[in-house]
């Protein structure tokens, strides 16, 4: 089911400045860059070993990232768990008492399938299930 940490997502106001900082401070290079129109986000994935650091910012006022930044400021937004089967993992989480945000898996960036789990059902942490 859970195979590894896929990514840690950090919400930022200035994506270019965050990319530049991580490059200068850690030598991190952008592995993948994508605007996810249906979510209203612009994201850059920096490979860290077998996982990613996802730097993300909102592209429109109603984006969850824009709302998060306005309410909480910059910082960790969610943790992505890589799973073998997103639908199966989501069902197992709900059966264990977790709360699904997405009732069904949906398309994510990089051609993945994703589903989000509410922090109230996962010990205060927003979780994204990621199936490659």
The reported pTM is 0.95
Q: In what order do the strands lie in the sheet with 2-11?
A: 30-36, 41-48, 51-58, 2-11, 75-83, 127-131, 113-117, 106-107
DSSP count for the chain of H helices, then E strands: 3, 8
**pLDDT score of 4:** 97
State the average pLDDT for the chain: 97
Q: Are 55 and 12 in contact (CB under 8 A)?
A: yes
CATH topology (fold) of 2-131: 2,3-Dihydroxybiphenyl 1,2-Dioxygenase; domain 1 (3.10.180)
Task: State residue 51's pLDDT score.
Answer: 96
Per domain, the residue ranges of the chain are: 2-131
> Which pLDDT tens digit goes with each residue over 79-132?
999 999 999 999 999 999 999 999 999 999 999 999 999 999 999 999 999 999
Flag whether pLDDT at 11 surpasses 90: yes
What's residue 1's pLDDT? 82
């Amino acid at each position: 089911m859970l195979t590894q940490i896929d990514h840690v997502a950090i919400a930022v106001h200035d994506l270019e400045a965050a990319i530049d900082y991580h490059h200068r401070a850690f030598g991190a290079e952008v592995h993948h860059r994508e605007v996810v129109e249906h979510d209203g986000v612009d994201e850059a994935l920096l490979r860290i070993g077998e996982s990613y650091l996802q730097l993300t910012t909102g592209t429109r006022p109603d984006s969850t990232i824009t709302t998060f930044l306005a309410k909480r400021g910059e910082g960790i937004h969610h943790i992505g768990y890589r799973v073998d089967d997103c639908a199966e993992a989501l069902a197992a989480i709900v059966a264990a008492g977790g709360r699904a945000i997405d009732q069904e898996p949906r398309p994510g960036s990089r051609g993945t399938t994703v589903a989000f789990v509410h922090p109230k059902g996962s010990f205060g942490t927003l979780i994204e299930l990621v199936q490659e």
